[in-house]
Structures are given as C-alpha cells and as structure tokens.
Amino acid sequence: MTTERYDISLNTPAGQLTSAVEVPAGFVPVSAIVPMMRRLGEEAQALEERRSVEAGRAISCQKGCAACCRMLVPVSPPEAFALRDYVQTLPEAEQTRLAQRLAVTRTALLARGLWNNLIEMGESTSPPDDAALEPVNRAYYALRLPCAFLDQEVCTIYEQRPAACRELLVTSPPEWCQNPAEHPVAALPVPVRIGPALSLLWGELAEQPPRLIPLATALDWAARHGQENQPRWQGTHILDRALDKVWRFLSQAFQQT
C-alpha cells in the first residue's frame, strides 16, 4: 500500500517536537495508526528525558529491571488488535509458549478472584476512572505476577510493547519500584498518554465508548471483538483525528505546568 508523508510539529512542555510520519494513502483499520502514534509518544517522551537529564535527574530504568512488568498495564482497543495481529505472525512454537504463559496468568488471576474483574474492565462502557480502578491495580500488583510476555525478565514483545510500558520511566532508585507504597517512585512526566489517546480515537471512529483493556486480557478481548477491527477509514482521516486527541492531551499537560 502506498503512503503519504506528513511533517508534524507539536509544542510540548519540554520543547518542540518535529517529526515526519508515513500514513497509508488507502483505507485501513484504526490499528494501522498504532506504530506511528507510539513513535510520536516516544519522541515527546525523549524531550522530557533530555530535560530531566539536563536537570541532573538521570533515568534509572535499564534492561533486566522488570518490576513494572508486574503492574496492571492498560492498552487501548487499537493496541489490543495490533498485538493480536503481531502474535499471529510468530512461529508456532513461540505462540505455544506464549499461550502456556497466558494460561498460567489466567489461572493465577482466577484463583485470586481478579480475572473476571479484569474482563469487566475491558468491557466497561463507563469512562476509565483511575480512582475506581486503584483497588484492582493494588490487588494485581500485590500478586507480583510477571507479565505473560516476560521471559527470564526480558520482554518478548519489546518492539510491540504497549504505549503504557514505553511511558513509564523513573529517576528514583530502581529498587524503589519493588515497593512503591513505601518508596514513592519519581516518574518522568508523560506529555501525551498514547493509550488513552488511541482509546478516544477508537471510540470516536467506531462510535463506541472509549475503553482501556488490561494487557493480561488483551488477546482474549481482541479475539472476542475481532469484528470491530474490520471497518476501514482513510489513513489521512485517522491521522487527523489521532492528532486531535494528541493536541487535547498536550493542552492538558500545559495547564498542569
């Protein structure tokens, strides 16, 4: 499919972001915008990281530090669909290993009475509410359950990992992440939360309530909602609506500075 190139310039609290993006010229599902949106989020985050380093606060995250891989990670519907598409391209043996890890995760969550709560989160038609979700977040993290996509403390889908995973960068000592209740973690500001932006985009295009789906149930959700990723929109139209959501988050970020 042919693409069209667009130069994008965004003002963020940490400076101006200028980026060139390639957008499909034809009709595509909303999940097609996921890679571009993640890249924009990372570029905005890189400006925040540079500002933090210049202020003497270096990022302490590094490979092998996987405390955050025990947290409840929210993904948008487009990300869930994109992840399912990616998993289906993996070699059969790798898909089998992943299915086994997912089964272990599901069994553990069922045993703690959390699996149905996570399913309900992904199906909720109410706007995502951080305060309402906090008890589930805490109960999930208390399990210290490794992400099913984690293997020997290394992310097996690193290039395809959700936007929420990319956005969590800390400047506090890495060992503090093991117990954030006792040691408040100093996280880098996130000027654009790409997951919620994609959720709003999907809600607008699909005429459905915005949703955020727990990563542990994302493949299950995408399988059950596969028909909802069938509609196609002009790539430039998706880009225009996606940027509208990005500008909305940036406006909120400026109000908070």
Reading the chain (257 residues) residue by residue, the pLDDT tens digits are 788 899 999 999 999 999 998 888 899 999 999 999 999 999 999 999 999 999 999 998 887 788 889 989 999 999 999 999 999 999 999 999 999 999 999 999 999 999 999 999 999 887 666 777 788 888 898 899 999 999 988 899 999 999 999 999 898 888 888 777 777 888 899 989 999 999 999 999 999 999 999 999 999 999 999 999 999 999 999 999 999 999 998 998 888 76
Residue 65 pLDDT: 81
Counted domains in the chain = 1
Residue 257 pLDDT: 66
Full-model pTM: 0.93
Residues whose CB is less than 8 angstroms from the CB of residue 54 and which lie 6 or more positions away in sequence, other chains included: none
Residue 3 pLDDT: 87
DSSP string, 173-219: -GGGGG-TTTS---BPP-S--HHHHHHHHHHHHHTS----EEGGGHH
Residues whose CB is less than 8 angstroms from the CB of residue 186 and which lie 6 or more positions away in sequence, other chains included: 57, 170, 171, 172
* 74, β-bridge pairs: 214
- For the record, the structure tokens of 176 come out as 């503090």
Residue 128 pLDDT: 65
With b meaning 16 or more CB within 10 Å and e meaning fewer, what string describes 233-254?
A: bebeebbebbbebbeebbeebe
113 in the Ramachandran plot: left (φ > 0), alpha (ψ -120 to 50) or beta?
left
Residue 2 pLDDT: 85
Residue 64 pLDDT: 76
26 in the Ramachandran plot: left (φ > 0), alpha (ψ -120 to 50) or beta?
beta
Residue type, 210: P
- Domain membership of residue 83 as a residue range: 3-256
Residue 104 pLDDT: 95
Residue type, 121: M
DSSP string, 47-72: HHHHHHHHTT------TT--GGGGS-
Residue 186 pLDDT: 87
- For the record, the structure tokens of 39 come out as 């890249």
Residue 166 pLDDT: 93
